Structure 1
């Protein structure tokens, strides 16, 4: 819908469609995280309808936590930029550079690691476990100051496991797609370009496939092949995402057991 609105130069409508899609994806992840956190804590998982209702009530907390972290990072970068500017001063510039360079390298490196392996993956599980924005920020601060190596290793292990699951899913989808690409034209006598037959498996639609220069056949069989391939594409994305969210919940609980009570 967003692509169609952009094609008709309806930018305002395209922004509404795109914002709606992002909202559905965000709160869908929040609802899924709430259900998976229930399982990780040994509780009875709430039903999807209740999970959606709860996600609409608490989902903004994880977003606010990330925004607060981003604001703190922006302030630190502003301070670092001021120190870098001060390096140009004639008297204190050279001695200041010997301090700014290691401080900037270590600070920027720790910020990137903390953002990618702690704040991003674990702020959501903290909210799903019942924490509000203030408690989530306090928990993140405690982990960064006391458990950063453990948190980074756990998050990296979750990423590695997710990558392995993604590789396994990709192997299944690609091998099955190759076989179906040989069998369908021969058995079902489908007169479709090979690119269109398998395009749905990679998230393409008629508009995006045509824009890429591939031959397109706007027939019922062609549309059905894109819809069926799109279902496989969605499932191939959902399974690694579920593994990642469930692993992040487990990592949060493991760190929370080692940390002091709130």
Structure 2
């Protein structure tokens, strides 16, 4: 039989190539719209909560989660199309498809979490047995390493397979049952490869996020200083940069700014918020494309007899 080994170079190249996701206009539009909608709903929820309208706050918060989740699912479908070399679907089709398959991700995650909860219950029961007299200390000598290994496996599985790869499995067309089956196969045969590739993707995503943040901060500082000079407004540059950092200036000390500067501060919050949203979207796009590439790389890899 031909000896086929995992092509690490190709897999890492696919992960690095996920940077191209920043050029995907459709995916960026969908994710930016989802972030904007979720952010608006969350702001409305905070306002309702401050006014004592608990029911409205809960509903608006749930709407924010709904928009963010299904918006990310639609974005994932578009990016999976790119990763698989398929013609990308239209934005409206991606949203409709996400509404039709997004629940599969929730079902798979809920099923695995129930299994993990059952394992946690068994561990709690074993520790209760360890509290018994005479046999407790002897049993604890066995329970301790078993607990460490089990919890370690759960953490690794959650960070490298369950969390990142459940979505890509569904985006590729799997049903809920097929998703659970593939998650189990990945954990049994591909967990070490998944850990290594996820570490590479985390590094790529962090570099993209750091690069975008650096550019936004430098350009924002120049913009703020030029605004103070050219607009002739009496306002510290840091206040004009607040929106770029995701902060909203709700109240400004009148002694620090002149009255005619208030409209510019409000405009800077709106414009800076748009830039902040774009800066947040870019590394998220890279991550979603990256997990899609990792899933495809693991699916295409050979599985050696007896494990990895």
Tell whether the structures are fold-level matches, with TM greater than 0.5: yes
My pick for the range that moved more, 89-98 or 186-195, is 186-195
Aligned ranges for residues 63-82 of structure 1 at < 5 Å?
63-82=106-125
Which deviations, in whole Å up to 9, do the C-alpha atoms of 1:131-180 show, x marking residues without a partner? 01111110010011111101111112111110110111111011111111
* 1:148 equivalent in structure 2: 191
Cα displacement (A) at 1:259: 5.7
Q: Tell which has more relative contact order, 1 or 2 (C-alpha 8 A, sep 6+).
A: 2
1:1-262 aligned at under 5 Å gives the runs 1-207=44-250, 210=251, 219-258=262-301
Query: What do the CA deviations read for 1:75-98 (whole angstroms, capped 9, x no partner)?
Result: 101100010111011232122111
SS in 2 for 1:45: coil
Which structure 2 segments of 5+ residues have no match? Answer: 1-43, 304-308
Confirm or deny: 8 A CA contact 2:221 2:237 kept in the other structure: no
Give the alignment's Cα RMSD to 1 decimal. 1.7
- Map Cα deviations across residues 28-77 of structure 1 (whole Å, 9 max, x no partner): 10000000000000000001110000000001111111111111111101
Length-normalised TM-score, structure 2? 0.79
Q: Give me the whole-angstrom Cα distance separating, in 2, the residues matched to 1:183 and 1:194.
A: 9
TM-score normalised by length of structure 1? 0.93
Question: What is the aligned partner in structure 1 of residue 13 from structure 2?
Answer: none
Q: Distance in 2 between matches of 1:174 and 1:121?
A: 29
Deviation at 1:106, TM superposition (A): 1.0
Of 84-93 and 229-238, more deviation after overlay is shown by: 84-93
Q: Distance in 2 between matches of 1:175 and 1:240?
A: 18
Mean CA deviation greater in 94-103 or 233-242:
94-103
Task: Decide which moves more: 243-252 or 91-100.
Answer: 91-100
Q: Distance in 2 between matches of 1:188 and 1:259?
A: 63
* Structure 1 residues 80 and 163: alpha-carbon distance in aligned structure 2, compared to 1, 3 A threshold: same
Contact 2:224–2:238, Cα closer than 8 Å, also in 1 = no
In structure 1, how many angstroms separate the alpha carbons of the residues matched to 2:54 and 2:235?
A: 33
Counterpart contact for 2:225–2:237, Cα < 8 Å:
no
Tell me the distance in 1 between the aligned counterparts of 2:282 and 2:302: 30
Shift of 1:194: 3.4
